[in-house]
Amino acid sequence: MLSSRGFEGLTLRAVATEMGASTGLLTHYFPNKRTLVAHALDVLDRRSQERPRRIAPGDGSPPPAAGLPRLRAALLDILPLDEAAAAGNRIWVGSWDVALADPELATAHAARYGRARALLTESVASAQRLGELPDDVAAEQLAAGAQAFALGLVVQALFAPAEFPAERQTALLDAYLAGLAGPAREVERL
Amino acid sequence: MLSSRGFEGLTLRAVATEMGASTGLLTHYFPNKRTLVAHALDVLDRRSQERPRRIAPGDGSPPPAAGLPRLRAALLDILPLDEAAAAGNRIWVGSWDVALADPELATAHAARYGRARALLTESVASAQRLGELPDDVAAEQLAAGAQAFALGLVVQALFAPAEFPAERQTALLDAYLAGLAGPAREVERL
DNA sequence: ACGTACATAACAAACGTTTGGTATGTACGA
DNA sequence: TCGTACATACCAAACGTTTGTTATGTACGT
């Protein structure tokens, strides 16, 4: 419901009827709406972390454990490549309004994205160690750039799903990753 | 006010008192809130387009007319490099919630970003003609990637302004642009 | 005199929150 | 083993406020 009506349409009553309960139940567990929203985002975040990680184009194969493939898989995991992922992303993008207006939620979000960035940094660093990415740029910077790219692509794809089907999203991502790896080869050749 | 309280806190009365008027004035010009919001976003968009374009690091110099510098300037123009730009971006990011929940606003947003992408495409194409960017990738794709990168960087910077000061934003953008230009040089050498 | 441009006042509906109440336990002294 | 005491879990209803919207009034240019 959040993914279709947005946070604007999120009311205690709507949540209550959605779960076949009363508003009294909600207020029994949460002192106010803010904490409910915060908790909901927390749960959603935890669920996102625990969901099975995406694997490269094929399906049966195990998830890539290191290097550029792992970075690619992690970024693909962010994109709205199917309707389910789009719905999830719609919720996150929608949460940015209320989060930016509420300092507590804003810091929670900042922490979340910071954590995700740290994970990406590991993948980047491992790719650098493998020589798949240049190491003349700090892994932190490459990871921040990659996260920005993925996040922005999410927004674009949500608003223009017809123009950004899954294939184009992955193609754009691959082109981006190629751009990261490209200069390295050049350096190696000197 | 939109930039601090978000679209969640946007009410007719708040808007009215903000402009020292009454709700009657608003309802006189707008049949309902939806059209008000749509109009507000339209005005904001138009104002963004007409505002003086950012220029390269220095100040007195004229805005770059073509090629990679123009692309860079256009992208810098998107980023929240100062508090004013951050406030404006906060509004846009906040609008995504209500826009994603309202088909009409969603298509308006899609059109806006599509238009911006078209402009970026021109800069990319001119940079390609100048040999500053490789032309083995369609300008449309490079522009879409660049816009995604900028958009995502906006989000990151809004939530973690301390981690993404203006210098880091421009550094990340320049690194991205270097990545785009990098592979070209390699190709040229063959 | 009449329509446009507003302000003021009132509207029903929906909001977050509070309240009073009812089950269903669980603990414990008699 | 029973009965009292108390906490937890939850519902239904109502609270006062705020919402978007509508209705009515008034000033004023033409």
Residue with tokens 């994970």, as numbered in its chain: A119
Query: What is the reported pLDDT for A18?
Result: 87
Between CA B55 and C1' C15 the distance (Å) reads: 47
Q: Residue A22 — pLDDT band, cuts 50, 70, 90? A: confident
Residues 11-70 of A with CB under 7 A from strand D: 20-25, 28
**Predicted local distance difference test score (pLDDT) of residue A187:** 43
Cβ B155–A158 below 8 Å, yes or no? no
* SS3 letters across B70-118: HHHHHHHCCCCCCHHHHHHHHHHHHHHHHHHHCHHHHHHHHHHHHHHHH
Are B185 and A132 in contact by the 8 Å Cβ rule? The answer is: no
Residue with tokens 């995406």: A54
Checking if the pLDDT of A70 tops 90, the result is yes
From the list B96, B141, B171, the residue facing A155 with the nearest CB is B96
- Taking the CA of residue A100 and the nearest CA in chain B, the distance in Å comes to 7
Query: Residue A25: which residues within 8 A CB-CB, separation 6 or more?
Result: A16
Quick check: A46 pLDDT over 80? yes
DSSP at A9: G
For testing contact with chain A, the best of B155, B173, B180, B189 (most A CBs within 10 A):
B155
pLDDT score, position A60: 57
Inform me whether the C-beta atom of residue A35 falls under 8 Å from chain B C-beta atoms.
no
Q: Does A131 touch chain B (CB under 8 A)?
A: no
Cβ contacts from A onto B, under 8 A:
168
pLDDT tops 80 at residue A186: no
Q: Cβ–Cβ of B151/A150 closer than 8 Å?
A: no
User: With a CB-CB cutoff of 8 Å, which residues 94-123 of chain A face chain B?
Assistant: 94-101, 106, 109-110, 113-114
Cα separations (Å) of B122 from B65, B67, B143? 11, 9, 9
| The residue to which tokens 């008000």 are assigned | B36
* Pair B104, B37: CB distance under 8 Å: no
pLDDT for A184 = 44
Q: How far is B21 from chain A (nearest CA, A)?
A: 24
- C-alpha torsion sign, points B5, B97, B46, B128: positive
* Pair of tokens at residue A153: 């692509």
Residue A99 amino acid letter: A
| CA distance linking residue B148 with residue A155, whole number of Å | 8
Contact list in B for residue A145 (CB cut-off 8 A) is 149, 153, 172, 175-176
List of chain B residues whose C-beta atoms are within 8 Å of the C-beta of residue A98: 6, 8, 97
Helices marked H in chain B: 2-5, 12-18, 23-29, 33-50, 67-76, 83-101, 103-129, 139-159, 166-189
Return per-residue pLDDT of chain B as tens, 190 residues.
778 889 988 999 899 888 888 888 888 889 899 999 999 999 999 988 887 666 544 555 667 778 899 999 999 999 999 999 999 999 999 999 999 999 999 999 999 999 999 999 999 999 999 999 998 899 999 999 999 999 999 999 999 999 999 999 999 999 999 999 875 444 444 4
Chain mean position to CA B101: 21
Q: Which nucleotides of D are covered by protein (CB under 7 A)?
A: 9-14, 18-24
User: Residue A54 has what pLDDT?
Assistant: 65
Q: Which nucleotide is nearest, taking the CA of residue B23 and each C1'?
A: C7
Please give the C-alpha separations between residue B10 and each of A9, B6, B48, B158, in angstroms, as whole numbers: 13, 7, 21, 20
Distance from C-alpha of A111 to C-alpha of B165, rounded to nearest angstrom: 17
Taking the CB of residue A5, how many other CB atoms lie within 10 A of it? 16
Q: Give residue-wise pLDDT tens across range A101-158.
A: 999 999 999 999 999 999 999 999 999 999 999 989 999 999 999 999 999 999 999 9
- C-alpha separations of B102 from A7, A98, B72 in Å: 12, 17, 33
User: For chain A, what is the mean pLDDT?
Assistant: 89
Q: Are A95 and B88 in contact (CB under 8 A)?
A: no
Determine how many CB atoms are found less than 10 A away from the CB of residue A98.
Answer: 25
Q: Global pTM?
A: 0.91
Element (DSSP H or E) covering residue A150: helix A139-159
